[in-house]
Amino acid sequence: MAFPTVGIVGAGQLARMTAPAAAALGVRLRLLAGSPDESAAQVVPDVVLGSPDDLDALRRLADGCDVITFEHEHVPPEHLEALVADGVPVRPGPAALVHAQDKAVMRERLTAAGIPCPRWRVVASADDVAGFAAEAGWPVVLKTARGGYDGRGVWVVGSTAEAVEVLEAAAARGVRVLAEEKVAFVRELAAQVARSPHGQAVAYPVVETVQRQGICREVFAPAPGLAEDAAVAAQEVALRIAGLLDMVGIMAVELFETADGRVLVNELAMRPHNSGHWTIEGAVTSQFEQHLRAVLDLPLGSPAALGPHAVMANVLGGDYPDMYPAYRHILARDPGVKVHMYGKQVRPGRKVGHVTVVGDGPLDGLTERARHAAAYLTGEITE
């Protein structure tokens, strides 16, 4: 059979949750994993051990794959260019992926295209930060252009003295720093779209995401109370970015919703994203299946929601290394909650699973169920 093989750089929970979609589609997966214990390496037979910093490892991954894609952006662009030069289809391509790898490049490109972003500037000195703050006000958000995730690489600073510490640490690592205005947002949204090489694109319902300490904790799909025209506007921004960047695959556009109803682009993720986990149960085509279809240039699936509401809550590691007793309790308490465990060692604050509740009941009830299950598994509550 001519069914293809997809190589994924990375073997965390995003690759793990791609495995079921691949099995159903009849598509084979090969992973690049740091160790055979990683989340996805537990559930995928074909694993190449190595680092994404190692071009030889990437070439071993690519050998026999029909396309290479990613579950994270931490791959040196020059290695991706080398794979492309080898003739390997890399999707999204390096020229698109750089916008998820480098926030300064992303800001430059989106601003040039007139896509609304927070005020921003690349800063190299205390004077630069002070000058930016004189226009945008304190506090200022500083971000390393590369390498951050889940709140790492982001600082909110209230003075040039605080900024200097961040700048010096970044300079020591050789990464650029962006200053951004601290947007007084009402809430955060995410607009997820998928685009295929021949340009077919679909947009998922816009969701609300809730972060605590920079880590996504809850997602509500669709975003409660979001006006139809605002939702369409957010989808249009995401579709426009996908086309502008010649993106291939699934992309999440994280957005700030402001009090006056505007949306500003916060970040881009060019891979399956935490804001789309609800699609496994909540949409006709999950983000994981959609990503595979997009990178294989297969026709895209329907992004329609299956029900009126879905609520996703992340399970973080807590104080108890063995979650199994809490897990049994949760399954007994709520036969309708969908629990996803990632097979990861519990460490405090680490994402080790998530729960989703879908249904046609009132949103408050679904939220309480998802929130309770996640908090109980995390160990924040005990009854």
For a second copy, the binding residues (CB under 8 A) are 1-3, 16-17, 19-20, 22-26, 28, 41-45, 47, 202, 280, 284-285, 293, 298-302, 304, 306-307, 321-324, 327-328, 331-332, 335-336, 338-343, 345-346, 353, 358
351 is in an annotated binding site: no
**Least distance between a second copy and beta carbon 327 (Å):** 8
Between 104 and 323, name the residue whose CB sits nearer to a second copy.
323
How far apart are alpha carbons 231 and 252 in whole angstroms? 14
User: Both tokens of residue 199?
Assistant: 């340009």
Are 204 and 242 in contact, with CB atoms under 8 Å apart? Answer: no
| DSSP string for 347-362 | -BT-EEEEEEEEESS-
Nearest residue (CB) to a second copy, 143 versus 340: 340
**Is 254 marked as a binding-site residue?**
no
188 is known to lie in a ligand binding site: yes
Q: Which is it for the CA torsion 140, 143, 145, 150, positive or negative?
A: negative
Report the nearest approach of a second copy to the CB of residue 284 (Å): 5
Q: Which is nearer to a second copy, 148 or 307 (CB)?
A: 307
DSSP, residue by residue, 229-275: HHHHHHHHHHHHHHHHTT--EEEEEEEEEETTS-EEEEEEE-S--GG
Min dist CB 240 to a second copy, Å, is 22
Residue number with CB closer to a second copy (236 or 334)? 334
Q: Shortest distance, CB of residue 295 to a second copy, whole angstroms?
A: 14
For 348, counting Cβ atoms within 10 Å of its Cβ (0-12 exposed, 13-18 middle, 19+ buried), the class is exposed
228 is in an annotated binding site: no
Beta carbons of 252 and 276 less than 8 angstroms apart = yes
Min dist CB 25 to a second copy, Å, is 7
Q: Which DSSP category does 76 fall into?
A: -
- Is 180 annotated as contributing to ligand binding? yes
103: annotated binding-site residue? yes
Consult the annotation and say whether 143 binds a ligand. yes
Residues paired with 154 in a beta bridge = 143
Is-contact 126 164, C-beta < 8 A?
yes
Judged by CB, which is closer to a second copy: 178, or 305? Answer: 305
What span, in angstroms and rounded, lies between the C-alpha atoms of 383 and 379?
Answer: 10
Q: Which is nearer to a second copy, 117 or 352 (CB)?
A: 352
Calculate ∠ Cα 291-296-298, nearest 5°.
Answer: 90
Q: At its nearest, how many Å lie between a second copy and the CB of residue 280?
A: 8
* Residue ranges at the known binding site for ATP: 103, 143, 180-183, 188, 266-267
